[in-house]
Amino acid sequence: PTGSTPTVRPAGSTGPQRVLLVDDSRSIRTLLKIYLMARSFEFLEAESAEEGLKVAEAEQVDLILTDFHMDGMNGADFAGQIRASTNARLSKVPILMMTGDPNVAEVRALGQKAGISAFVRKPVSCAQLMTLVDTILPLPRAAAK
């Protein structure tokens, strides 16, 4: 057959957008899911940047939310690894990095150098998080019911 087969899944065509939550705190991951419930995302979770990389390589994700401070690799290094991926789709995924670090400017600079899409300081409010997520990952047009 000479028909061209699309290599990229059209947004919204096969179910919900998928968000990867990378945070070593289960309670933070749960809170993020509650905050983002309005968008009916499908969630994938990882407790470390290393685990997050494995999930991101294995699964299709549309957005990554990562903490900065984690054991092992930090959020900025994780974002840098995602941006350096040989997988073209993965290397372009929007990344939102969060931190509770008092040295916000330094953490933000590290994240921006690594290629993050947005940055937010913890504790983040539901409204603040939704606004950022809507900005970096617009609703798929097909999702309008």
pLDDT band at 70 (very low <50, low <70, confident <90, very high): very high
Tally of domains in the chain = 1
pLDDT at 14: 66
Domain that holds residue 113: 21-124
Predicted confidence (pLDDT) at residue 6 exceeds the cutoff of 60: no
Q: What is the mean pLDDT of residues 100-113?
A: 96
Predicted confidence (pLDDT) at residue 28 exceeds the cutoff of 60: yes
Q: What is the mean pLDDT of residues 130-145?
A: 81
Does residue 36 fall inside a structural domain?
yes
Q: What is the mean pLDDT of residues 10-25?
A: 82
- The 42-46 sheet, strands edge to edge: 42-46, 18-22, 63-67, 95-99, 118-121
pLDDT at 116: 98
Tell me how far apart the alpha carbons of residues 133 and 77 are, in angstroms, rounded to a whole number.
21
CATH number of domain containing 49: 3.40.50.2300
Q: Could you please report the per-residue DSSP string of 17-82?
A: -EEEEE-S-HHHHHHHHHHTGGGT-EEEEESSHHHHHHHHHHS--SEEEEES--SSS-HHHHHHHH
pLDDT at 15: 84
Q: Is the Cβ–Cβ distance between 93 and 87 less than 8 Å?
A: no
Does residue 52 fall inside a structural domain?
yes
pLDDT at 8: 44
Q: Is the Cβ–Cβ distance between 67 and 24 less than 8 Å?
A: yes
Predicted confidence (pLDDT) at residue 1 exceeds the cutoff of 50: no
Rounded to two decimals, the pTM is 0.87
Does residue 2 fall inside a structural domain?
no
pLDDT at 13: 53
